[in-house]
Structure 1
Amino acid sequence: MLLLLVLPVLVSGFLLFHFHPYYKYKLHRYEGQYLYLRSAQFGLYCFLISIFIDSYAYSNLPASVTVCSFVFEIDLHKFVNGILSSYEVLNSTEVPKLAWILVVIITSLVVPLLWSGLSFLKYFIRYWTLSTRQPLIAKVLSDSPLDAFLFEAMLKKGEHLVMLSLSDRKVYVGKILSMGEPNESEGPDQEVLLKPVMSGYRKTEDLTVEFTTSYNGLDEDTFITIRQDLIVSACEFKFDTYENLNPKKEPWSPV
């Protein structure tokens, strides 16, 4: 019967990754066997917590409560035991053990929701906002300078221009408007939406930047989506800095 606990342990760990306000943004980093191991690790935590909850409830809580003359049974073990006892095919000596296993399984599947709810409350108190997406994604992306830079540029709502150099030597200057939504296989850093100001390329001989195209005359709804794995480098762009670094050239402006 203990084999019945293996699947609920994995499922409860996986549920925690899906509902937890922080871990769900890191789910894309766990692949293959590592995902199973991480699910088993957190599922085991949920399983141990469920054992503690069920043991405490069985020892300290009454079997029933009365509300407005209505009696409600809250002893889950007694309830499950009664259902299993109605099946004559089950051995009467095994019914109490099976009932306890089912109760622990049910509780272990509820623990991820309770854990996630308490974590959301913690982050709400810390950041004082119901929308914890931005600060938590920033925390997840903080281990990558490129991710952190692009996300910070997006949060500034286009206050500063950024220059993106791609693997094909194409260069874009513009404003980061958004990044991709995280899912089970990819994180929030798979692509960026750029409002272009100008573009050019890096010369083959010395990799200096040559701007060739201005986007000022185009419609306001002109955007470019760039896969982040194509970005070789990124930095904040300032026209004064660019002109100081290229004194031999005529000042270039997209205006």
Structure 2
Amino acid sequence: MFLFLVLPILGAGFYILFNNPYAFLKLHRYRGQLLYLRSIAHGLKILALTVILCVTANYYGPEQLLGYSINLEAYLTEVFSALNVGPAELVQQMVWFCLLSVTMMLTAFLWCKFIAWRLTRISRAYKLPATLFLKQEIVKDSPLDKLLFDALTSGDPVLLSLSSRKVYVGLVAGMGEPTEDEGMDQEVHIVPLMSGYRDTNTLNVHFEIDYRLLNQTSRNKLSIIVRQELIESASPFDFDVYREIRSHLKVKPTAKVRVSYQPDPERYTWTIGTER
């Protein structure tokens, strides 16, 4: 009979994974058997807590509350005995199976409510919305996600170099929301300040458009969504540091190609040289 406890264990575990904010934001990391193992792990924790609660309430709890009997074990035993489901031993097993199953789901529900309440208290203490506080906890595993998240919360510009050699300097306006299948590393929403490209040979950045020169109305309409998988490198961007670096760059002189043509009755010759 107690083998059927696998079902409420999985049910409570799945409920924790989908309703516990901390567990749900990491749900996309689990696949296949690992997802079931995580569910069983959470379910076993709830089962252990449920057994303690049930045993404590059964042996140390009051028999009556406000004049009404609250001894569920005795009530269920009486019900199953009246139904003639089997011998006394089987009845006792069914009673405890029902008590543990119902109490496990109730415990999982109350546990998720407690976590949500605690999260609200902590987010208020850090003066951050609950969603941002949770994201702050999970982005620690990815340097890119942490960089983008810090830029989102601080409002500092970042430089993004894409696989197409396109370069953007902008403000991070949003990141992907974690789901059951994907994490935050989906898209990033930026408001561009400058854009350009990287030189094919030197990989130096050449900015072509400065969006800061536009009026405020036009700038408010700017919005770019970039897939994070297209980002090859990212870094914080400081305009003062950029201007200082640009002032110290030495521009190499461009070599000119000189081609001379010397006709000859029997052959044609060209002389190719360079001049500075």
Q: What TM-score, normalized to structure 2? A: 0.79
The equivalent of 1:182 in structure 2 is 178
What CA deviation, in whole Å up to 9, does each residue of 1:143-175 have, x standing for no partner?
A: 22111111111112x3x2111111222211110
8 A Cα contact 2:2 2:93, kept in partner:
no
The equivalent of 1:167 in structure 2 is 163
The equivalent of 1:253 in structure 2 is none
8 A Cα contact 2:169 2:192, kept in partner:
yes
Q: Which fold has the larger relative contact order, with Cα–Cα distance below 8 Å and residues 6 or more apart in sequence?
A: 1
What CA deviation, in whole Å up to 9, does each residue of 1:181-225 have, x standing for no partner?
A: 211111233221111112112122121112223334335132111
What is the letter of the counterpart of residue 131 of structure 2? R
In terms of Rg, which structure is larger?
2
Asked if residue 213 in structure 1 is aligned to residue 222 in structure 2, the reply is no
What is the letter of the counterpart of residue 118 of structure 1? F
Cα distance change on mapping 1:78 and 1:228 into 2, 3 Å: farther
The equivalent of 2:139 in structure 1 is 141
The equivalent of 2:151 in structure 1 is 153
What CA deviation, in whole Å up to 9, does each residue of 1:84-128 have, x standing for no partner?
A: 34434x214212211101110111112222222333344444443
Distance 2:167 2:69 in 1: 68
Percent of paired sites with the same residue: 38
Shift of 1:137: 1.5
SS at match of 2:234: strand
Cα distance change on mapping 1:2 and 1:240 into 2, 3 Å: same
The equivalent of 2:46 in structure 1 is 46
8 A Cα contact 1:165 1:234, kept in partner:
yes
Distance 1:50 1:139 in 2: 29
SS at match of 2:220: coil
Q: Which of residues 62, 76, 81 is equivalent to 1:80?
A: 76
The equivalent of 1:58 in structure 2 is 58
The equivalent of 2:236 in structure 1 is 236
8 A Cα contact 2:25 2:138, kept in partner:
yes
Deviates more, 1:77-86 or 1:139-148: 77-86
8 A Cα contact 1:19 1:112, kept in partner:
no
Cα distance change on mapping 1:86 and 1:228 into 2, 3 Å: farther
What is the letter of the counterpart of residue 183 of structure 1? T
User: Where do 5+ consecutive residues of structure 2 fail to align?
Assistant: 252-276
What is the letter of the counterpart of residue 145 of structure 1? P
SS at match of 1:22: helix
The equivalent of 1:30 in structure 2 is 30
What CA deviation, in whole Å up to 9, does each residue of 1:224-254 have, x standing for no partner?
A: 11122221211111223223333246xxxxx
Query: Number of residues paired by the alignment?
Result: 242
Over the aligned positions, Cα root-mean-square deviation in angstroms equals: 2.2
Distance 1:248 1:84 in 2: 91
Q: Which has the higher helix share?
A: 2
8 A Cα contact 2:145 2:184, kept in partner:
no
Cα distance change on mapping 1:226 and 1:55 into 2, 3 Å: same
Distance 1:215 1:5 in 2: 62
Distance 1:74 1:222 in 2: 64
Cα distance change on mapping 1:213 and 1:79 into 2, 3 Å: farther
SS at match of 1:13: helix
8 A Cα contact 1:175 1:196, kept in partner:
yes
What is the letter of the counterpart of residue 112 of structure 1? A
